[in-house]
Structure 1
Amino acid sequence: MSTTNTIKKVAFFNPQGNFDKDDSHLTEHPDFGGQLVYVKELAKAFGELGVEVDIITRQIIDKDWPEFAEPFDYYPDAPNVRIVRIPFGGDKFLCKEDLWKYLPDYVDKIYELYKSEGRFPDFVTTHYADGGISGVMFLKKTGIPFSFTAHSLGAWKLEKVLESGMSREDAERKYKFTVRITAENLSMHYASFIVCSTNQERYEQYSHRLYEIDPYDDKFKVIPPGINHKIFNQEPKPEDKQMEEYIEQLLVKAPIKRHRLPFIIMSSRIDRKKNHIAVVKAFLQNEHLKDRANLLIVVRGINNVLEYVNTEKTEEAIILKEIVESSDNEIGKSIFFANVSNQRHLASLYRVAAARGSVFALPALYEPFGLAVVEAAACGLKIVVTKNGGPAEIFSHGEGLLIDPSNINDIATKLLLALEKFDCRKSVELAKKFSWENTALAYLENIKHVLANPDSIVSVDEQRLKKFYDLINTL
């Protein structure tokens, strides 16, 4: 498909986290999660289709984040993709909740950059609420339309946080929910189209009472994300031998009988909502399950988990400490931690584990889509995944086993069933359908439609946008 006749250049607005050619810190931090993988892979797929892309994020001049100091960066395998780092909000790293009041400066400087270069993008894709509201401001300034991909929605996170026992005042102070939800509503209203990964996301997530949009509106487009099939596949790679040796090192102190057992692998960010502890409990409480497999928890950038949990006070360390303390002295015997820090090594781990008949488990309380699950399936792992969210739609025809993440017995039963009887061939075939090229083509088809119908682009109301400015001025 040729795209260059109508779409020459697209900008991706992603103020939070950061991007660099080496994928530094990717998935290691709440602001460097799946959203950044999505943006990077989608941008590269655009580039391969002949579209020039700018991923526009934040410049950070901080000794702890040296990878993000230069104003421009490039992926060596993506000549059409440029990483643009805009200086705003000072030099130091700021988490996404602290960026809101600096976003007008972000947008102004993007405008100045393109003005100085003498060329603006044809279209903007925006990501998360901070990218979305930046798209609204940029539309007001330039008339250039944008799409909005939320990745996650603040109203639902607010509910989860309040359910956890945090007071509304503390939740507001920490997460700036009023600003975020206001930004989301403005993004939805002014976006030329809204991208959802699943129908569940569209009809359930956007139907929340705090949102002003009708999920049946035609501007919603269900476009599943993809995976990188060059990395996540069943083809043996040279690094697989090294991964086998690494696994043997992990098992060196374990009883001999456990050295050839399959694994139950958890490989999502160490975050409370990912619910790792539920699988740990299911594993420890079911002797048949414990005899049948080892439990392997992937951590990123942590060589010694026991040392880490006793010296650090991060949320990640607190969660890992809970896992260690509940492990009944099984760390190094039947429960193991693997430090796997990049996608190629992760795919290698999956392939090596799949050869043992291993299972990938994602017991998240809620999972918007579940790219990590599709990646694991592509490498031949059996799938046991939460029924809450996108996975129930993706694995709707028996390609994976769905679990109630709050039911320890259900988790243990499904893990055993997967280990002993599940055939992964259907999940491998399913994974082949999810490609970034298909995702990019769907975006570009919708972008073409918008550009061919400029009358559909809504002008930004100054007074409506002022409500957002008034909120950030109080931060």
Structure 2
Amino acid sequence: MSTEQHQPYIVLISIHGLIRGQNLELGRDADTGGQTKYVVELARALGEQASVGRVDLLTRRVVDASVHKDYAQTFEALSAKAQIVRIECGGDGYLPKEELWDCLDSFADSAIEYLKQQPRLPDILHSHYADAGYVGVRLSNLLGIPLVHTGHSLGRSKRRQLLAAGHSKAALETRYNITQRIEAEETTLGVAERVITSTQQEVQEQYGLYNHYQPEHMRVIPPGTDLQQFHPPTGDEASHPMAAELARFLANPHKPMILALSRPDPRKNIAELVCAYGESPELQQQANLIIIAGNRDDIRDLDTGAQEVLNDILLTVDQYDLYGKVAYPKHHQSSDVSALYRLAALSKGVFVNPALTEPFGLTLIEAAASGLPIVATDDGGPTDIIGNCHNGYLINPLDRADIAAKLLQVLTCGSAAWETLADNGLQGVQHYYSWQAHVEKYLQVVHPLIDRTETIAPVPVKRRQQLHHDRALFSDLDQNLLGKPEALQPFLTALQANRSCVLFGIATGRRLDSALQAMKKHGIPQPDVLITSLGTEIYYAPNLLPDTAWERHIDHLWNPRIIRRVLEGLPGLKLQPKSEQSRFKVSYYIDPQIAPDIQHLNSLLHQEGQAVNVLQSFGQFLDIIPVRASKGLALRWFADRRDIPLERILAAGGSGADADMMRGNTLSVVVANRHHEELSELVHEGVNIFFATQQYAEGILEAIEHYDFFQTCEVTA
């Protein structure tokens, strides 16, 4: 029977958190966030469709004095055809999701009992998150109903994030039941006939980590946007409290606004935006820059990453003397965000997202829905959003001139062209990113399963090679990959052909932004791990997740203020520009002819109680980093967390800064570049150091053949 005669009965399952139809307590805790809002809005929007017969949202019933009595109601109507149904699970008290695993079988049994009491069984089940996936698999198997799944967040990605934050593997099991969660996700992905995600990037970079990754089962449907909350200006925005809050920073508050809105995370690249603004007198003349970067009472009370971002913003404002042109308010409410978009639109301004990486870009959709043109990073979600909406321009987030030029292109295009961009955004959001658009695409995805016009054959699951890297290849950037462009592509082609078992890492003395710029220019794909600033920073693919546990580890005994004081005034030493300094690196130019030798510098520092690593490279650079930091130590930290033996790591270097990466039990290659003599003493270090006759990437390929590195891979399908 087709769905034209049969209005489907759809059951959504979202177990944890606090779910109700009105006044969602978003942010109350880690379990009551975007997922709860999404499933309630999806249930309500589906229930408003004439082609849908009925929608039930199954969640956990909570009878607990610490939460509202709403969560104890067994039934709550969302509309005439949609309701929330609360099922008993694990007693009455409110429990975090990690403590629900033992009661999920009971939830499933009670859910089946409820469904069998209905006039007819559901046509489709849609589970949300791993716990609901576990329940959905049981219901689907017992009732023979197709299962659709949305993960929202995934255990394998979460595990990587938590390890990077310093949690031990044992703690992940004790606190997060991470293995149980991942097993539930694997089973769910094996049973689900459709998996719905927000972006194609999510498909490849998150679900792609699983053995049951079956891209043919996956469908991308961008989430709906609340067009009642986000809408064009109505004319009364000037009286909103945020207008007065911004005006107190600005000499001319009536100029157009360049609005940036994000949390104070280094990956959001806000300081680079301020630099682009500071280096463009024309941009300063045309518009004010408005930076909304979280909430703060005292910057010193924030975590280290947020402190660095906000300090960089303030110092950059001072460097370019941008007072009266840049607003950076300390506080805003979540309800102020939509007003900020409308204020910017009313000023004929532009919204900018200069992030280094942006998987989706919800703020871009919210800005577009508010009638505000956008400028955004040429990565991930923004490419789709601007491609669909035609309401702005993509930028290279590491090119200040490009950022300024694209902002000026919007701000100086003339009233008619600006209105066209704004109207394109409004129409594009309505067509692609409204709740109506979302549920229309959703029903197109599930109707073939309901009608049984499309059957999904089970796919035999194999152990996926790329999940279980057998070995890793680490290389310096400048001395190994950039010096000879014609040698680079054969190396990248060989590496890509063997990524099934070889994990790729880059270890460089460059800062993150400089490394990314160089990689982009030369077409080097993002590695699995990027070690920057001489081993003081570690970032993980796909979203440049910083290893904060490493930062805490190397902070031991580190005091750069004393280092600069001890070395101040010494002959042959000159501090490098601020752009070359970082939190864990003090960098000098050195003239070896007149400067003290390394042993003497170490002695001076030791006398002041400073245990550090002093590195000299290329005959002219001197870098001082924490005693616990170096390229080699960072490589070993990473290898330990990924359980890759050092004997299966090939480290390629070309200067003295690479030496400790190549000593010990790693396989190593010294490429034949101009500065390879700095590594000449390694010839006495052992049998696992190969001196290539070729330069740059050709030298690495020579070493790969020498060690038979790719052919000895032991990962099997």
Q: Does 1:141 align with 2:142?
A: yes
Q: Does 1:11 align with 2:11?
A: yes
Counterpart residue type for residue 442 of structure 1: K
2-structure distance, mates of 1:56, 1:413: 49
Q: What residue in structure 2 maps to residue 444 of structure 1?
A: 443
Q: What residue in structure 1 maps to residue 573 of structure 2?
A: none
Deviations 1:257-308 (A, max 9, x none): 34655142315xx5869x45x3156437853579543434276xx7xx4179
Choose which of 257, 265, 268 in structure 1 pairs with 2:260.
265
Q: Does 1:70 align with 2:72?
A: yes
Flag structure 1 segments of 5+ consecutive residues without an equivalent.
462-475
Q: What residue in structure 2 maps to residue 433 of structure 1?
A: 431
Residue 340 (structure 1) shift: 3.5
The CA RMSD measured in Å over matched residues stands at 4.1
Q: Does 1:356 align with 2:355?
A: no
Residue 53 (structure 1) shift: 1.2
Q: What residue in structure 2 maps to residue 39 of structure 1?
A: 39
Asked whether the 8 Å contact 1:12–1:56 carries over to 2, the reply is yes
Residue 110 (structure 1) shift: 1.9
Asked whether the 8 Å contact 1:54–1:83 carries over to 2, the reply is yes
Structure 1 residues 102 and 48: CA distance shift in structure 2, 3 A: same
Residue 401 (structure 1) shift: 3.9
Which structure is larger by alpha-carbon Rg, 1 or 2? 2
Asked whether the 8 Å contact 1:226–1:439 carries over to 2, the reply is yes
Q: What residue in structure 2 maps to residue 101 of structure 1?
A: 102
Residue 453 (structure 1) shift: 2.3
Deviations 1:89-123 (A, max 9, x none): 44444444443333223322322333455654221
Deviations 1:187-216 (A, max 9, x none): 1111122223344433454333x332332x
Q: What residue in structure 1 maps to residue 384 of structure 2?
A: 393
Q: What residue in structure 1 maps to residue 112 of structure 2?
A: 111
Structure 1 residues 56 and 338: CA distance shift in structure 2, 3 A: farther
Asked whether the 8 Å contact 2:273–2:354 carries over to 1, the reply is no
Secondary structure at 1:126 match in 2: strand
Residue 55 (structure 1) shift: 1.8
Q: What residue in structure 1 maps to residue 513 of structure 2?
A: none
2-structure distance, mates of 1:205, 1:256: 46
Residue 442 (structure 1) shift: 3.0
1-structure distance, mates of 2:118, 2:99: 30
Asked whether the 8 Å contact 2:299–2:310 carries over to 1, the reply is no
Q: What residue in structure 2 maps to residue 339 of structure 1?
A: 332
Structure 1 residues 144 and 98: CA distance shift in structure 2, 3 A: same
Secondary structure at 2:444 match in 1: helix
Asked whether the 8 Å contact 1:61–1:92 carries over to 2, the reply is yes
Deviations 1:112-152 (A, max 9, x none): 33345565422111222222222102113322221112233
Residue 450 (structure 1) shift: 1.7
Structure 1 residues 99 and 242: CA distance shift in structure 2, 3 A: farther
Residue 366 (structure 1) shift: 5.1
Deviations 1:199-247 (A, max 9, x none): 4433454333x332332x2x3233333323344332x44xx62674212
Q: Does 1:251 align with 2:246?
A: yes
Deviations 1:313-354 (A, max 9, x none): 9xxx88766655555398997201453435xx6434322221
Q: What residue in structure 1 maps to residue 55 of structure 2?
A: 53
Residue 377 (structure 1) shift: 0.9
2-structure distance, mates of 1:141, 1:42: 25
2-structure distance, mates of 1:211, 1:253: 55
- Residue identity (%): 30
Q: Does 1:383 align with 2:374?
A: yes
Asked whether the 8 Å contact 1:11–1:123 carries over to 2, the reply is yes
Structure 1 residues 252 and 443: CA distance shift in structure 2, 3 A: closer
Asked whether the 8 Å contact 1:403–1:410 carries over to 2, the reply is no
Deviations 1:6-60 (A, max 9, x none): 2342111112333323232236654344333432332222111133212222333
Secondary structure at 2:329 match in 1: strand
2-structure distance, mates of 1:60, 1:164: 32
1-structure distance, mates of 2:131, 2:212: 18
2-structure distance, mates of 1:62, 1:418: 56
Asked whether the 8 Å contact 1:24–1:67 carries over to 2, the reply is no
1:117-156 to 2 correspondence within 5 Å? 117=118, 119-156=120-157
Residue 437 (structure 1) shift: 2.5
2-structure distance, mates of 1:437, 1:443: 10
Asked whether the 8 Å contact 2:197–2:220 carries over to 1, the reply is yes
Choose which of 221, 224, 245 in structure 1 pairs with 2:222.
224
Asked whether the 8 Å contact 1:280–1:323 carries over to 2, the reply is yes
Asked whether the 8 Å contact 1:20–1:73 carries over to 2, the reply is no
Q: What residue in structure 2 maps to residue 214 of structure 1?
A: 214
Q: Does 1:297 align with 2:292?
A: yes
TM-score scaled by length of structure 1: 0.75
Structure 1 residues 376 and 34: CA distance shift in structure 2, 3 A: farther
Structure of higher RCO (CA pairs closer than 8 Å, 6+ residues apart): 1
When structure 1 is superposed on structure 2, of 378-387 and 136-145 the one drifting more is 378-387
Residue 73 (structure 1) shift: 5.9
Residue 309 (structure 1) shift: 8.6
Counterpart residue type for residue 100 of structure 2: L
Counterpart residue type for residue 12 of structure 1: L
Asked whether the 8 Å contact 2:395–2:406 carries over to 1, the reply is no
Structure 1 residues 253 and 352: CA distance shift in structure 2, 3 A: closer
TM-score scaled by length of structure 2: 0.52
Structure 1 residues 395 and 157: CA distance shift in structure 2, 3 A: farther
Secondary structure at 2:85 match in 1: strand
Secondary structure at 1:211 match in 2: coil
Residue 165 (structure 1) shift: 5.5
Structure 1 residues 13 and 92: CA distance shift in structure 2, 3 A: same
Q: What residue in structure 2 maps to residue 328 of structure 1?
A: 314
Flag structure 2 segments of 5+ consecutive residues without an equivalent.
318-322, 461-717
Secondary structure at 1:16 match in 2: coil
Deviations 1:414-468 (A, max 9, x none): 7844764574334334223223223323332343322332994789x9xxxxxxx
2-structure distance, mates of 1:350, 1:326: 25
Asked whether the 8 Å contact 1:360–1:384 carries over to 2, the reply is yes
Asked whether the 8 Å contact 2:61–2:87 carries over to 1, the reply is yes
Structure 1 residues 373 and 251: CA distance shift in structure 2, 3 A: closer
Asked whether the 8 Å contact 2:133–2:149 carries over to 1, the reply is yes
Counterpart residue type for residue 453 of structure 1: R
